[in-house]
Structure formats: C-alpha cells, structure tokens
Amino acid sequence: MTNKGLLWGKTAIITGGGSGIGEASAMRFAREGAAVVVADIRRHKSDIVVSEIEARGGVAIAVEVDVADEASVSAMVDACVDRFGSLDVLFNNAGTLRPGTAVDLDTADWDLVMAVNVRSVFLGAKFAVPHMRKRGGGSIVNTASISGLHGDGRAVVYAASKGAVINLTRALSTDHAPEGIRVNAICPGTIATPPVQRMMANPDAVEVNLRAHSLGRIGQPAEIANAAVWLASDEASFVTGEAIVVDGGLRAQSPLGVMGDPRPGR
C-alpha cells in the first residue's frame, strides 16, 4: 500500500469505517497512499480494519467516535491532526436508518437518524474545514442515498435525512469553494453492506432488488469506495456540489418496465 496512488501524501478520516462501505473505503484509501483515520462508534471494528491496513503496508489509526456528538467529532479531527499533522479528506460515511411512516415512527427514532445522518455532516465540516483551510484546500465526501432523491416507502426519516445531506453538500460546497475545499455526495443504490445482507436472507427481497437494478445485481461496498477515492482525489479537482449516483441503473429504468409488456417491472 505504500506505492504512490491517487491519494499519495494525503490524510483522510473515514467515519463508519469499521464495516461495509467505510471498511472498503478505508482499505482503498490506504492502498492509494493515504494515511487513514478509521473512525467508528465500535472501536473494536476500527481496530480490525487498521490491522488489515497495516498488514498490507498501509498507515492507519483507529478512533472511536459518536458522529452525532460535537465533542466526539472534535476529538476525532484532533486525533488525525495530532497523529498525521494535517487533514486533507473527510469521508462522512457513518449512517443509520429506522423504518416507518410519519404515523408509526417514534419521535426518538426520527431524532436519532437525523443526528447520525445529518448533524454528523455539519459537525464534520465544522471541525475539518479549519484544518483544510490551512492546507489550502481539501475534499469532503458525504454518503447520501438514492433515497434522498425519491420517496421510498416506510422510510420517512431516512429519505428526509439523505435529502438533507444532498442539499447540505451543496451549501457546504458553495461556502467553502473559495478556500479550495470541494464537497460532494455519493448516492448509492442497494449495496451489500451487513444490514442489506441480512435483508437479503428473504428470497422475495433478493428478487425485488435484482429486478430493480438494471445491471441485474446489487452493488458491492468496494464500488462505492471507488467513487469516494475519485471524489477525494485531484482527478476530481473541478467537481464540487454534486450528488453522484452509483446505483447500477436503479433510477434510470422506468418502473413500468419494457414497453408493451403488461407485467410490472419487466
């Protein structure tokens, strides 16, 4: 992992780095030459990822963080700067979901999801931007979702939070472009993260998801990591304020299916 790559010489924080998209991104960022802070609320998960990175010759540290807590996020950024001397990339990837409609969703669940998914992006920028400003620029990447672009059933707070992440991304990009800081979001489709894999134990869920994606499969965490690396790198130097969809063609195809075929979704 020490060969020069797209992120050679950069330092990066990845939240939710202990599993799924965050784990895949931490591994890929390190392979591209970044020194990585693997941040997760589950410290033991971060430790495992750091061990894997170090075994492959990369540089990383594990940090326990509650991304919804101001003091915890501040300490995470300080840990990065104290260890590596700078901060170039922040990947606000941590997130959570609670299913439900406005009628049956608990208010506490609304507050939790909005805090973990939206407040975290605000707090990450609050503490990362001053350090990026000192470096003359940087890149912030936020994990949104295609659920932030349309209305999924029984996902009232998840859809609202991810829509907020997308527009927060645009607002941050506008505020900090003069400082050389780019801010973008990734909107994944269905990705084989641990929660999705548990859902896929239901054969009906497998069929629905395979049919929904025009590529005929769900995505892999590494495929979102690929997009995150590119957005974090200088190759995306003229890209800011964007919500990049990585969804295997889910949004591209009409739910009506093939013209002339009466079967829905065919």
Which positions are annotated as active-site residues? 158
The identity of residue 96, as a single letter, is: T
Half-sphere exposure of 47 (CA within 13 A, CB side): 4
**The 3-state secondary structure of the chain, one letter per residue:** CCCCCCCCCCEEEEECCCCHHHHHHHHHHHHCCCEEEEEECCHHHHHHHHHHHHHCCCEEEEEECCCCCHHHHHHHHHHHHHHHCCCCEEEECCCCCCCECCCCCCHHHHHHHHHHHHHHHHHHHHHHHHHHHHHCCEEEEEECCHHHCCCCCCEHHHHHHHHHHHHHHHHHHHHHHHHCEEEEEEEECCECCHHHHHHCCCHHHHHHHHHHCCCCCCECHHHHHHHHHHHHCHHHCCCCCCEEEECCCCCCCCCCCCCCCCCCCC
The bridge status of strand 181-188 relative to strand 138-143 is parallel
The identity of residue 162, as a single letter, is: K
Apex 225 CA angle, 223 and 227, nearest 5: 80
CB 94 within 8 A of CB 67: yes
